[in-house]
Chains A and B, each alone.
Chain A
Amino acid sequence: MSREAWALSAPVPKATGWQLFLKTVVARAYPRVVGQQRERSWIFFDVFLSVLAISAYVFVYRAIGAPEEYVGFVIVGGAMTAFWLNVLWSMSSQLYWEKESGNLALYIMAPNSMMAILLGMALGGIIATSLRALVILLVGSLIFHVQYAVGSIPALVIIFLLTLTALYGLGMMSASLFLLWGREAWHLANLAQEPIYLLSGFYFPVKNLGFWVAAVASIIPLTLGLDGMRQLLFPSGAALGFLDVRIEIVILTVLSVLFLVAARALLGYMERKAIREGRLLESRR
């Protein structure tokens, strides 16, 4: 074989610094955005089953004569459930699965930043899940004739984006924690799934839990995010709201910063521990 025949001989400049960071974020988001859409079963599992769960609550609320806004609350909660499930099953557990498949070692060995990998996972998750959440919202709203009256679109967009930032920040932080605890990831995910449904008020106003329980539950960004969005989407939402929307925006901003900083610190700790002890990167297969 001649040297000319092997076209790889000429070296090319590679991206470094922030360009490499951005490339990594986009590349790691890619499997989430493109890959997940190829698995058509999501239409059944993520939309049909979610609408079924929502329907049960809607029928109960209508049967007991609850205010009609509750139906809208349930639809919004059902849509946001998609993000919670994505954070729990695809974000928090992700480093564990990456370890099992051998990807984690390759990610650490590459010259990119592990934070870029995690951000890519989060960004991909947000994009892919937004489509699911939107479908749930549309289908649920059409079936149950939900009426929306948006108070402030900018405030709604801000609170939605802050909720996702804080929520996926929590997911990024949990990703390292799940790996460090070294337990079977799905047990931890199972453990967290149902209690959060209750505490975050997915299907009812969180105010009903009482101030202190709702305050403690506010550590989960969905609690305040859902509450704020409901206040901005429904005419009587403010009356059923837990805190003033402006306060919720401030708290969600603080949570976003807190979780992202903690995610970065834990990721660094996980990487150092993995390299020092040698066991963290080993697959059990």
Chain B
Amino acid sequence: MNTDLAIETHNLGRIYTIRNRRERRVRREIVALQDVNLQIPRGELFGLLGPNGAGKTTLIKILTTLLAPTSGWARVAGYDVVREPQKIRPRINMVSGGESSGYGLLTVRENLWMFAQFYGLPSREANRRIEELLRRIGLEDRIHTKSSDLSTGLRQKMNIVRGFLTDPEILFLDEPTLGLDVNAARDVRRFVREWLDVHPDRTVLLTTHYMVEADELCDRVAIINQGQVLACDSPENLKRRLERDALFEIEITSPNGLTGAILEAIPGVRRALLTETNGGARLDLTLVADSALPDVISVLTERSVRVRHLTKREPTLEDVFVELVGKPMAEAEKREDEDEP
């Protein structure tokens, strides 16, 4: 057992069996997670990046002892999630995006105090921490507000405080900024980063489908899709994979029958993604070299497609995702939604 690892998984898998309610014998199996191997050292802010339905939440549920894996094993804080959940639970906490935990009739302080008691925190210490954390996240003026009177953003800030209140060794943040406005999301990200700066021995596992969030916050990122980890590295190293390519974003007028496949047939074009926009389209091009660009422009001209704007840009995690999955995350999410049981 490696004690330097906060989280370790080996060939971890989870299959859900869905029974048809009318015909009980009819079963369908959904592979939510498949052969996931991760090693997350203590002190790391590790990101799981993937579309909705990719298996991120299933993985978090297994690691927080809420769900048993159907294959492989996982250790959290050095303990097996199936055999030793009681040793794991005092050491962890979890916050999910959009959660409505707690009780609306209780104030922010009362809700947080209640959850702190479930972890055995002395009341005086709990109240001191509540005030401190609320101040840090910018919610101190709502300490006596009933949680039912909070907006979505403020409620999520309260949830975030709940997760940090027990001072966990390992914190699981499942889409913590889901549905938050830009300012609230920024506050949450800043809060997480500050906490880790002051507690360098603590580990955070963050799931997100926001590329910018993963890029900004995480030391390392695993890209996950359809239950499988496709790549795992620092955001810089992941993006470096694409540095040999030339990336262009071109705004065009109506495509006039132009497709990505037509452009990908041009020598030197590795990938061409066409997205309809208001009054035109956006073309995301991955070229083996800048020299392939004139041929692309020629094809556009032949089809009477006018170029409105052309930008050469640095690779992003979205590009890495497209490279690995073959389609943008939004499209992958649409596909997952269609596959939902």
List residues of A whose CB falls within 8 A of some B CB. Answer: 1, 3, 6-9, 11-12, 14-16, 19-20, 23-24, 26-28, 30-31, 34-36, 38-39, 101-103, 105-112, 117, 274-276, 278-279, 281
Contacts and interface: CB of A to CB of B under 8 A. Distances in A.
Contacts of A274: 66
Nearest to A17: B120
Given A26-B117, A35-B106, A108-B66, A11 B99 contact: no
B118 A112 contact: yes
A60 B284 CA distance: 81
Contacts of A112: 118-120
Interface string B88-111: 011011101001111101100010
A111 B167 contact: no
B84 to A, nearest CB: 12
Contacts of B125: 12
B308 interface: no
A27 B117 contact: yes
Nearest to B82: A275
Contact of B101 (A6, A26, A103, A117): A103
A131 B65 CA distance: 39
Nearest to B114: A27
Given A102-B99, A278-B14, 10 more contacts: A8-B133, A11-B167, A19-B120, A34-B105, A35-B106, A36-B105, A101-B100, A109-B92, A110-B118, A112-B118
Q: Which 3 A-B pairs have the closest CB atoms?
A: A27-B117, A15-B120, A35-B105
Interface in B31-59: 58
Contacts, number: 123
B121 interface: yes
Contacts of B129: 7-8
Interface of B: 14, 16, 58, 61, 64-68, 86, 89-90, 92-94, 96, 99-103, 105-106, 110, 113-115, 117-122, 125, 128-129, 132-133, 136, 146, 164, 166-167, 194-195, 197-199
Contacts of B136: 6
B101 A106 contact: yes
Nearest to A24: B118
A53 B58 CA distance: 50
Contacts of A110: 89, 115, 118-119
A81 B58 CA distance: 43
A38 B100 contact: no
A275 B65 CA distance: 8
Nearest to A21: B120
Q: Is the interface of A mostly helix, strand, loop or mixed?
A: helix
A19 to B, nearest CB: 7
B198 A102 contact: no
B133 A107 contact: no
B105 A31 contact: yes
B105 A109 contact: no
A27 B118 contact: yes
Contacts of B67: 275, 278, 281
B121 A107 contact: no
A278 B67 CA distance: 6
Given A24-B117, A102-B96, A111-B86, A8 B122 contact: no
Contact of A14 (B16, B96, B106, B121): B121
Nearest to A31: B103
Contacts of A281: 61, 66-67
B206 to A, nearest CB: 17
Contacts of A109: 64-66, 89, 92-94
B104 to A, nearest CB: 8
A37 B339 CA distance: 46
Contacts of A27: 113-115, 117-118
Contacts of B199: 8-9
A103 to B, nearest CB: 5
Contact of B120 (A1, A14, A36): A14
Contact of A3 (B65, B96, B198): B198
A15 B124 CA distance: 13
A106 B115 contact: yes
A275 B68 contact: yes
